[in-house]
Amino acid sequence: EVQLVESGGGLVQPGRSMKLSCAASGFTFNNYDMAWVCQAPKKGLEWVATISYDGSSTYYRDSVKGRFTISRDNAKSTLYLQMDSLRSEDTATYYCARRSPFQVFAYWGQGTLVTVSS
């Protein structure tokens, strides 16, 4: 069974940093591209970033370019999202997702809430 378990969320002040993790199991992690998708409270879904199966390619939405960094450790079957210079508008639940061909998000974790507030 595919499992994705996010961790690392919480309350952080504007301008500070936070690093999210996503532990994967139930599939061969290094065979799949992975992504982060966020959802602000009571709002819709927004793609944040994608990383290729081997970590060689990364893609970001414009609003997080230069501030967020997606990475992975295939030996640990873990996906990361380093978030720097956080803003109040980054407040959201962050989901880790396994990317299938054609950028379909077939599996999702339960999400971790990040609240950016002073």
Partner 1 sequence: DTVLTQSPALAVSPGERVTISCRASESVSTLMHWYQQKPGQQPKLLIYLASHLESGVPARFSGSGSGTDFTLTIDPVEADDTATYYCQQSWNDPTFGAGTKLELK
- List contacts with partner 1 (CB under 8 A): 35, 37, 44-47, 59, 61, 95, 100, 102-111
DSSP secondary structure code for residue 103 in this structure: G
| Residue closer to partner 1, measured from CB, 25 or 103 | 103
Considering the complex, what minimum distance in angstroms separates the CB of residue 21 from partner 1? 16
Considering the complex, what minimum distance in angstroms separates the CB of residue 54 from partner 1? 20
Which residue in 86, 80, 96 sits closest to 116, CA to CA? 86
| Residue closer to partner 1, measured from CB, 11 or 106 | 106
Considering the complex, what minimum distance in angstroms separates the CB of residue 93 from partner 1? 9
| Residue closer to partner 1, measured from CB, 2 or 11 | 2
Considering the complex, what minimum distance in angstroms separates the CB of residue 72 from partner 1? 18
Hey, which bits of the chain come out as E strands? Answer: 3-7, 10-12, 18-25, 34-39, 45-51, 58-60, 68-73, 78-83, 92-100, 104-108, 112-116
| Residue closer to partner 1, measured from CB, 64 or 86 | 64
Query: What three-state secondary structure class fits 17?
Result: coil
* Token pair of 22 as six digits: 């996503």
